[in-house]
Structure 1
Amino acid sequence: MDLLALTDFNLVARHGGFGRAARAAGRPKATLSRRVAELETSLDLRLFERGARTLKLTEEGRALHERTRVLLAEIDETAAAIATGGDKPRGRLRISAPVLFSQTAMGKLSVGFALKHPDVRLEITSEDRPVDMVDEGYDLAIRVNPDPDESLIGRIFLRDRLVVVAAPSMVRPGDGELAKAVVRGPMSGPMTWDMRSPDGRSSLSVGPVLSLPSLMMVRDAVRAGIGAGRLPISLVSRDLAAGRLVLWGDLDRPEIALWTLYPSRRLLSARVSAFLDHLKEAFPMGTADELAAHIGE
């Protein structure tokens, strides 16, 4: 594939037209049109739908643009790094992170990274859905207990666990009685929380009385005594130490593991490596206590 033609195709796709791309790059419009036509011929694909006054990417053109624009940018950055005699992190770094981790930790992490690496344009998005890293142009994703994906390389950088907590004023009910509960997500009927508690009891029957969309809101409601809640220990450890909450038990379920993920078919850029190092410096042991300390500082 002709990389020059591919570069010109991405230039036209990014600007939405041959004329705008030509003006932005200071290139002849006819040259851009010819190179894109040659690329279409070599691929035997139509990349643009050409109207009298409009130019629109076809489905194949959109896929090619999304999958090659980041790779071309990395080639440019690698060439620039070699030309300047170094591999200093630079360019745009797009990271997708879970909502709770973004709310509690990413702000301070991002500031620290930006101060250390001023040539990197850091862009954080906060969402819990599994993103398509290549199609959506992400360099790095942080996810909780992600499903296996052969196209991605991943490593665990933090571990946490869920606990059941309540306000000191709330009395834990006896066997056969329902405890009021605050839950995240859709409201449901009575349920049982399997857990390991200090007094040896292995389960807790609960009846949700309040449903909220975020764990931060659940913690606030539990603090107020509305009901018991299931929350990460890192989010409530300071409340437990201060006596604002009491521990009823550890949930009997697998640990929470936070992973960093990046596409395996791409070279690891200097900016991604720098952010991975930044996470390692912030959480050298990868424990819930380190995350709690980071949140509480």
Structure 2
Amino acid sequence: MLNEEVHSFTAWLFNGRMALMDLNSLALFVRVVDSQGFSAAARATGLAKSSVSDRIAALEKEVGASLLRRNSRSFSVTELGRQVYAHARAILDEAEELDVLLKSRLAEPGGTIRISSSSTTYTSGLVEVLCGFATEFADVDFQLHASNGSVDLVDDGFDLAVRAHIQQLPDSSLIQKRLGFSPRWLVASAAYLERMTLPVVPADLAAHAGLVMSAMADAPELLLRNDAGSECRVRMSSRIAADDAQSLKAAAASGLGIAALPAGLCRTALAEGNLVRVLPDWHAGGAEISMLVPSRRGQVPSVRALALYIARHLPQAMRLTALRPLS
């Protein structure tokens, strides 16, 4: 039945029906998914919860299938809903890009942009994206601030921030754009895996040396999930504990154990063979990645252009997924 729904949606899409659909309905659907519920979406948009529900129901009627599963206790996205979300997200990004392109004709990006992010987010792909932007826009300069602490964009004079977060960010006057979910992958060096027995199932990790963040040193337990929705908790020994993921990456590459690292942080080491994924069908949690910018009113062209550039390129650089993995 699911394959029939997906094929039906694909035919619907390419027959041009999405092109005729109200972009506001697609935008609202994206907002509901990003907010993980109707109540949060209603608060974010200023609409009544009943209005949000009615408009999503109308969208589902137009599509001809359910996009969301919801009741009083749970909320999830159907497989078809995930496809609609991906297409809708792309359409909205293209519309925003067109808006920025037209406005950039009036004023070329230039000046200095102050950016805040954690050091792990920078090294996981953000610096690569910023370098690409700087190459394209030679008149833009950057001031980069790496901190895991709280930063007030307005009071501290920042133009843009990229945040990794577990919980939903609080409502504020800032524009919040969700970029995707950053999964943590289990990695080790090939030399380490040759010395030890290769883990085949999650329970095998208990016999291995763990390279963990300091906060987990006393109780290094991992919650593993796969895309089928299965999950399990596994305790590992704490061979090395560190305050930053870069140190754990170096320890893993040196053959000292198994680490759970953001996918973007270890992507180059994996491509070069310095690290190998362990239990590749599983991930060890992760974090949402969001971009925060001040209100569009008064935003200089360089900041708007950079925000769009990050939204387009950072998901690929950091190996972000469109939605949280199934759980």
TM-score range, shorter chain: 0.5 to 0.7
Give the structure with the higher percent helix. 2
Contact (CA 8 Å) 2:253, 2:274: kept in 1 or not?
no
Deviates more, 1:233-242 or 1:201-210: 233-242
1:208-235 CA deviation, whole Å, 9 max, x = no partner?
A: 1211232122012112222221111233
| Aligned pairs (5 A) from 1:4-153 | 86-145=106-165, 147-153=169-175
Cα 1:251/1:132, change in 2 over 3 Å: same
| Aligned pairs (5 A) from 1:147-296 | 147-167=169-189, 168-169=193-194, 170-171=196-197, 172=199, 177-186=206-215, 188-196=217-225, 202-240=232-270, 242=273, 244-248=275-279, 250-251=282-283, 253=285, 255-264=286-295, 266-283=297-314, 286=316, 288-289=318-319
SS at match of 1:156: strand
Structure 2 equivalent of residue 11 of structure 1 = none
Cα 1:190/1:265, change in 2 over 3 Å: same
C-alpha RMSD of matched pairs (Å): 3.4
TM-score (ref. length: structure 2): 0.53
Contact (CA 8 Å) 1:160, 1:287: kept in 2 or not?
no
Structure 1 equivalent of residue 41 of structure 2 = none
* One-letter identity of the residue aligned with 2:303: V
User: Structure 1: any 5+ residue segments left out of the alignment?
Assistant: 1-81, 292-297
Cα 1:157/1:174, change in 2 over 3 Å: closer
> Could you tell me how far 1:134 is from its partner in structure 2?
1.0
Contact (CA 8 Å) 2:211, 2:258: kept in 1 or not?
yes
User: Structure 2: any 5+ residue segments left out of the alignment?
Assistant: 1-102, 322-327
> Could you tell me how far 1:156 is from its partner in structure 2?
1.9
> Could you tell me how far 1:197 is from its partner in structure 2?
6.5
> Could you tell me how far 1:135 is from its partner in structure 2?
0.9
Structure-1 separation of matches of 2:186 and 2:259: 6
> Could you tell me how far 1:138 is from its partner in structure 2?
0.5
* One-letter identity of the residue aligned with 1:278: Y
Structure-1 separation of matches of 2:170 and 2:221: 29
Structure-1 separation of matches of 2:164 and 2:203: 34
SS at match of 1:209: strand
Largest Rg, 1 or 2: 1
* One-letter identity of the residue aligned with 1:156: R
Structure-1 separation of matches of 2:141 and 2:275: 40
Cα 1:267/1:210, change in 2 over 3 Å: same
Number of matched pairs: 205
Structure-2 separation of matches of 1:275 and 1:177: 44
Cα 1:217/1:126, change in 2 over 3 Å: same
Structure-2 separation of matches of 1:122 and 1:176: 42
SS at match of 2:299: coil
Structure-1 separation of matches of 2:132 and 2:234: 42
TM-score (ref. length: structure 1): 0.58
Structure-2 separation of matches of 1:124 and 1:180: 35
Identity level (%): 23
Structure-1 separation of matches of 2:119 and 2:176: 19
> Could you tell me how far 1:99 is from its partner in structure 2?
0.5
* One-letter identity of the residue aligned with 1:212: A
> Could you tell me how far 1:288 is from its partner in structure 2?
4.6
Contact (CA 8 Å) 1:97, 1:128: kept in 2 or not?
yes
